[in-house]
Structure 1
Amino acid sequence: MNIHFIAIGGSAMHNLAIALLQKGYQVTGSDDAIFEPSKSRLEAKGLLPKEFGWFEEKITSNLDAIILGMHAKPDNPELLKAKKLGVKIYSYPEFLYEQSKNKTRVVIGGSHGKTTITSMILHVLDYHNISVDYMVGAQLEGFDTMVHLTSENEFIVLEGDEYLSSPIDRRPKFHLYKPNIALISGIAWDHINVFPTFENYVEQFSIFTNSLTNGGIMVYNEEDGEVKNVVEQAENPIKKYPYKTPKYRIENGVTFIETSLGEMPLEIFGKHNLQNLAGAKWICQHMGVGEDEFFEAIASFKGASKRLEKIAENKTAVVFKDFAHSPSKVVATTNAVKNQYKERTVIACLELHTYSSLNATFLKEYKGTLNKADIAVVFYSPSALEIKRLENISKNQIKDAFECDNLIIYTNPKDFKKFIYSQNYNNSVLLLMSSGNYGGLNLSELSKLI
């Protein structure tokens, strides 16, 4: 097939482009800006556009399909030309479904944990040399790309994002996959620019549950009340498998869980990650991996990129970065770190960066999320509010919303960096939480300091 990507530079888009090239397709693409690591990875495969921008002449009737990324606008000139010529236009999830119609589709959904659970599953399968197709939202150790597509593999494992499919397709991505096996890890209001009410957001997970094929399998976190309601009230003919946090203990900064092989130490920690592990185990069992085989493999799982990722450590200090930005993720991550390092000072720094987190009416959802930290810091840039065209929020609004005693707030990147570099890191843990870049903080430089 001859495929053209509109907005090829995206994290998911460039991985799909590389996967299709490796499958033998003819691949081209356009974008108005491409950043690292996408730029280098596309260049290495000969897929980097010669010049940035949108070019109508790239769109011809010789194309079999267009794959349209979320970064493009509805009036994109290449998109308009494709419509005029009648070239088939797919969103990212639509095309993945087309590639997997004849496979057993395993889709991992949830407001939080889906990247980690998908990563756990792929780690276990890879450990046991079980080949599957996949799409995951983070770069995994030992995997070349975040997307892998073949003609021969029986299973495809897909991270099921609830965000929109494309600029011209307002359906959540995970509504399009029609899974045979699915999982929901948790439901906590997010993406308020798309789902204006909590009820509207929850409804998307009901639609996802009802999209399972008849006789399909739904694995779900029964400790999350919203998930339990959505799945257990579903009336379509599916099989339902609940999971919950396994028994565990923490000793000298190491988490041990009870398994069929006896007590076992883990590389990961946190109650939310143990729930993720329990869900991944059920999915792997439904894919033919026995319980003993699962535990043998998961013992060496170190986590997905940017998910409680350890970036520096010495004898008295450790630094983690985490993608946490929504309230449910922030509280789970902060609590996990404090529970793991009870005797250390936990310095938890949260950057408000997303549309939801910078929305004045949504701020109250962060109530108590940083309370377990010994030193709690919130950083946000007023310029981010301008870019997102949101009303200004004051330091007092943030303090009132978080209801956290002694909360420290920074709005200037230089002041935030000065704070980070001035701390005494003896017997401490620094936790950096953001989907952004912490105001341009150089993490490599910080790692060397520690």
Structure 2
Amino acid sequence: MPIRVGMVSLGCSKNLVDSERMLAKLRAHGYQLVTEPGEADVAIVNTCGFIQSAKEEAIETILELGALKKDGTLKKIILTGCLTERYQEEAAELFTEADAVIGIGNNRDIVDILDHVLAGERVVQFGKKSDAELKGDRIITTLPFFAYLKIAEGCSNNCTYCAIPAIRGPYRSVPMEDVLDEARWLAEHHVTELIVIAQDTTRYGADLYGKSRLPELLRELCHIDGIRWVRVLYCYPERITEELLDVLAEEPHMVPYLDLPIQHCDEEILRRMHRPGNEETLRNLITHIRERVPEITLRTTLITGFPGETKEQFNRLGDFVQDMQFDHLGCFAYSEEEGTKAAEFEDQVDEDVRAHRADILMEQQAEVSAAKNAAKLGKRMTAVVEGYDKYAGCYFGRTAADAPDIDGKVFIKSSSRLRLGQYITVEVFDTMDYDLLAEEVTDEPAE
């Protein structure tokens, strides 16, 4: 009977791509993949170590798997990912229940490592960060019609609050021909929506080609047979170019959606974050984007309670958010991460104040989102079907204005049997704060 292996992938979609590559290697070598760790002989945890809450989730997961191993349900545990890469010696010493503790540069050797573990060895290996794989076969673990396309590894922006450059190393673009080969492979395997990701997608190609080639890459992706939607995340505001806006405005398969993590609007806070710009440049940029691409959906992320943030600076951020009317917004209380420059700043804001300020902005955004959704009443739009909710008695999915997992959904009434990944036209008849209620329209095809 083949050895059963289960993968627990924590954290971001970039981590998920790494997990999918490891799964492909394991299946190719005869291991049986299972979705539930409780059904596995071996559990692999691809950890996240970005902020405190992510570290806590990883530790909790490891302890739960340790309990399964103790009662004999699980035989072996392998740990990898950002948490182990960041805390190498501590992880190897602390997580005694783990049979292997490895770094991101060792994921390419996951089959060999698993063989050693099954032979009774305890493996502790931390290779070069630059050995992290930039390409390779994958097993798609998302819904089968969409996939994340990671176009770079690492980061060179060196924001003072962020540990990613220390964990993942400097920015390394995947050569364009390799990205396009992977995208074509995904399309051949029935993926119709590509979600382009990296720590900073707008920097793509600068290290290889001397300039950003994201616009060129996106155009090429839009022209791959079978691809219906191309979406891009993690675009830095200072690198939004006219060429990128041209692609968003002109390519029919490029969804008019832009993820623009600004983090703050106050010039002094941005300077201390080691990020360029100020409120005026951000206002001008957002206005310009909306003029160039009138149908654009804008998403952003913010940090509250960054060291030194005064009440006045926070209020200015709140006013800015109210004025900008972002379609989607995520807000995080500042997490004081050891090893980062910001953690050494003396004027740390009280943790309760950080969290309270984040709550205020999210309450404010809920009102903005509700008003934006209300404006969609009676509108027709294309939606992709993601599943059926047996309790609600209806289908659900997403519109082009919504990225998976982080944005809203549309709940769909239909008299016909819909299939997973089907693109349909719907008409909105009711709304919730973040979600839409709609009915399938059968008198016109989906775009």
TM-score (norm 2): 0.39
RCO (CA 8 Å, sep 6+): is it higher in 1 or 2?
1
TM-score (norm 1): 0.39
